[in-house]
Structure 1
Amino acid sequence: MIIEKIKTKRIAVPLRKPFKTALRTLETAEAVIVTIHCDNGLTGFGEAPPTIVVTGDSLESIEGAIQHTIRPALTGMDVTNFEQVFQKLHRILVRNTSAKAAVDMALFDLLAKKMNVPLYQYLGGYQNELETDYTVSVNAPEEMGEDAVEYVNDGFTVLKVKVGIDDIHKDIERISEIRKRIGNDIKIRLDANQGWNPKDAVFAINKMADMDLGVELVEQPVKAYDFEGLKMVTDSTITPIMADESVFSPEDALRIITNRCADLINIKLMKSGGIYKAEAINRLAEAAGIECMTGSMIETRVGISAAAHFAASKKNVTRFDFDSPLMLKEDIVNGGMVYSKNKITMQTEPGLGITSVGEFEEAYK
């Protein structure tokens, strides 16, 4: 299964509602779609959104890395010798994790198609159905409360609530308002996106616990580089703490695990550089008794399908954050995993199950 062509094209899909976090506000989902074409007629699909505030990757840098470095390096290689291919993909350039992830997805899509099985089965096949949370963007408490009620009425039983944009007391007010509106049966997860300092984080998390607001976990309360601050928050609170932006690589995960800086790890393919390295992170975490969540950036069902297939294949991945395709005004992806409200079902077709993205094949470079 020889790689003959690697192509890219850009896509842009408006969001139904602006997506707001402590790091950015987004109104349109942009991405680079990648296809890898092999001599046996199979095509693999991948996706990389630009998330400059997290990965440092832009549309231009993603396309440049794929077209000028990855494409010439991998063209002519045999995908079935996948250890050679993935080692080369991660050796030929540093960082550029989003570009690597898109190519990695397409390679795994091809491998599963070659075996004629869905990707989650190729990777381990632990389960074929997942429950995703839904994200409440950070806004005024009243608006967030209204949004939370809307999502619960739509069938979601787990909400991921964004905080960390301004005063710590305002964040407590936000969660209090949401809990008041939705009752006690809905899970609430917080994501500060690095927006707090360690002392404020400890105060806020313990205060919310004292108020019995029922916060399941808090994701990345402090700056990504502040491993000591993350450990301080973990050691000083009963509420489980999850590392997200602090973990890009297996080496980052090992540091978190060795120093017990967090209770949980959020694996995202755009940070790890794809499934190949994500598997290594999960294995390290599982050996240490640390459960993982698999999350995503603002992606279409191409990237989310790859992340969901990885997550469904692993017993140690116990939480799922795959709501972004539901935020888009239009679904431009044909095939792939299927949504039914908060439930995601893996398709039975081989690989990612995706047949096309957008209308114009000639748009690929």
Structure 2
Amino acid sequence: MNIQNIETFQIAIPLHKPFKTALRTVTVAESVVVKVTCDNGIVGYGEAPPTHVITGDSLASIDYAITKIFKPLLLGESLRNREQVFERLYKSAVGNTSAKAAVDMAIYDCIAQQASMPLFEFLGGYSSTIETDYTVSVNHPDEMADDAQQYIHDGFSILKVKVGKDKIEKDIERIKAIRKRIGGHALIRLDANQGWHAKEAVRAIQKMEDLGLDVELVEQPVKAYDVEGLKYVTENTQTPIMADESIFSIHDAKRVLENGAADLINIKLMKAGGIHEALRIAKLAHIYGIGCMVGSMIETKIGITAAAHFAASQPNVNRYDFDAPLMLSEDLIEGGIAYKESDIELGVGIGLGIEKINDKFIVD
């Protein structure tokens, strides 16, 4: 089974409501979709959204990397020698992790189809159903409480709350308002998206602990490069601390894990460069006895399906942040994962199970 062609096209889908974090505001989900065709007729799909403030990737850079760098290297390559294919892909350019992830997931889609297995079974098959959280964008405390209440009403029992955009006191007001509105049954996770400094993060988290706000974890409280600050927060709070933007590669993960700088890791395919590297990070974390979340950027159901299959395949991935397709006004694809409120079913289709792309959202 050899790679016969690699094609790209851009899509754009409006969101129901603006997605706001400490780093950015998104109103339209844009992405580069990749189609890998093999000489036996098997077709695999992947995608890469531009997330300038995290990965540095733009629509133009993603498309260029795939069509001008990866495609010439990979055409004609046999997927029976997939380790060589992935090595060529990852060594072909520095960075460009989202572009690599899109090609990587499309290749895995092809390989699993050739094996006549759903991708999560091909990768390990640990679980077939997972539960996602739902993200509360950073806004005025009352609006965030309204949103949180609505998501609970919609069937979600885990909320990922964005903070870190302005003063710590305001963030505490936000969590107090949400906890008061939804009561004590739902889980609340905080994501500061690098918005705090180490000492103020400790002060804020300790205050929330003293107030009994029952926060499950705090994700990336400090700047991505500040591993010492991340370690300081981890050592001086009772609430588990999760590293996200601090970890792109297995080398980043090794540094964080060796230094005890975080209690948990958030793996994203767009940071890692795809499933192949994400598997290495998950297995390293497993050696250290560290649990992982698998999250995403603002992606369509193509990217989230790939991430969900990876996440479900690994025993130490026990938290899932796959709500992005639910934020979109319409679905890009038929097939892939299926949502039943907060539960995600991976299905029985082979590969990623993608049946059809909705041409309506393709940008000319």
TM-score where L is the length of structure 2: 0.99
Asked if structure 2 preserves the Cα contact closer than 8 Å seen for 1:7 and 1:364, the reply is no
Q: In the alignment, which residue of structure 1 is the partner of 2:290?
A: 290
Q: In the alignment, which residue of structure 2 is the partner of 1:136?
A: 136
Q: In the alignment, which residue of structure 1 is the partner of 2:328?
A: 328
- Secondary structure of the structure 2 residue equivalent to 1:130: strand
Per-residue deviation, residues 282-329 of structure 1 (Å, max 9, x unmatched): 011000010000000000000000000000001100000000000000
How far apart, CA to CA, are the structure 1 residues paired with 2:47 and 2:291? 26
Asked if structure 1 preserves the Cα contact closer than 8 Å seen for 2:301 and 2:337, the reply is yes
How far apart, CA to CA, are the structure 1 residues paired with 2:289 and 2:348? 31
Asked if structure 1 preserves the Cα contact closer than 8 Å seen for 2:325 and 2:331, the reply is yes
User: What are structure 2's unaligned runs of at least 5 residues?
Assistant: none
Q: In the alignment, which residue of structure 1 is the partner of 2:192?
A: 192
Asked if structure 1 preserves the Cα contact closer than 8 Å seen for 2:11 and 2:363, the reply is no
- Secondary structure of the structure 2 residue equivalent to 1:94: coil
Deviation at residue 356 of structure 1 after TM alignment: 2.3
Per-residue deviation, residues 195-241 of structure 1 (Å, max 9, x unmatched): 00001100000000000000000000000000000000000001000
How far apart, CA to CA, are the structure 1 residues paired with 2:359 and 2:61? 24
Q: In the alignment, which residue of structure 2 is the partner of 1:340?
A: 340
- Secondary structure of the structure 1 residue equivalent to 2:359: coil
How far apart, CA to CA, are the structure 1 residues paired with 2:142 and 2:112? 46
Asked if structure 1 preserves the Cα contact closer than 8 Å seen for 2:12 and 2:363, the reply is no
Amino acid at match of 1:318: N
Q: In the alignment, which residue of structure 2 is the partner of 1:13?
A: 13
How far apart, CA to CA, are the structure 2 residues paired with 1:16 and 1:359? 20
1:223 partnered with 2:228: no
- Secondary structure of the structure 2 residue equivalent to 1:8: strand
Q: In the alignment, which residue of structure 2 is the partner of 1:246?
A: 246
TM-score where L is the length of structure 1: 0.99
The change in CA–CA distance for 1:20 and 1:360 in structure 2 (over 3 A counts) is closer
The change in CA–CA distance for 1:57 and 1:71 in structure 2 (over 3 A counts) is same
- Secondary structure of the structure 1 residue equivalent to 2:80: coil
Asked if structure 1 preserves the Cα contact closer than 8 Å seen for 2:31 and 2:59, the reply is yes
1:162 partnered with 2:162: yes
Farther off after superposition, 317-326 or 347-356:
347-356
Q: In the alignment, which residue of structure 1 is the partner of 2:68?
A: 68
Matches within 5 A, 1:171-186: 171-186=171-186
How far apart, CA to CA, are the structure 2 residues paired with 1:130 and 1:334? 20
Asked if structure 2 preserves the Cα contact closer than 8 Å seen for 1:270 and 1:296, the reply is yes
Q: Stretches of 4+ moved more than 6 A in 1?
A: none
How far apart, CA to CA, are the structure 1 residues paired with 2:78 and 2:191? 41
Asked if structure 2 preserves the Cα contact closer than 8 Å seen for 1:8 and 1:364, the reply is no
- Secondary structure of the structure 1 residue equivalent to 2:79: coil
Q: In the alignment, which residue of structure 2 is the partner of 1:273?
A: 273
How far apart, CA to CA, are the structure 2 residues paired with 1:44 and 1:331? 18
How far apart, CA to CA, are the structure 2 residues paired with 1:274 and 1:37? 18
How many residue pairs end up in the alignment? 364
Q: In the alignment, which residue of structure 1 is the partner of 2:56?
A: 56
Deviation at residue 337 of structure 1 after TM alignment: 1.0
Deviation at residue 358 of structure 1 after TM alignment: 2.1
Deviation at residue 357 of structure 1 after TM alignment: 1.8
- Secondary structure of the structure 2 residue equivalent to 1:248: coil
- Secondary structure of the structure 1 residue equivalent to 2:101: helix
Deviation at residue 364 of structure 1 after TM alignment: 9.7
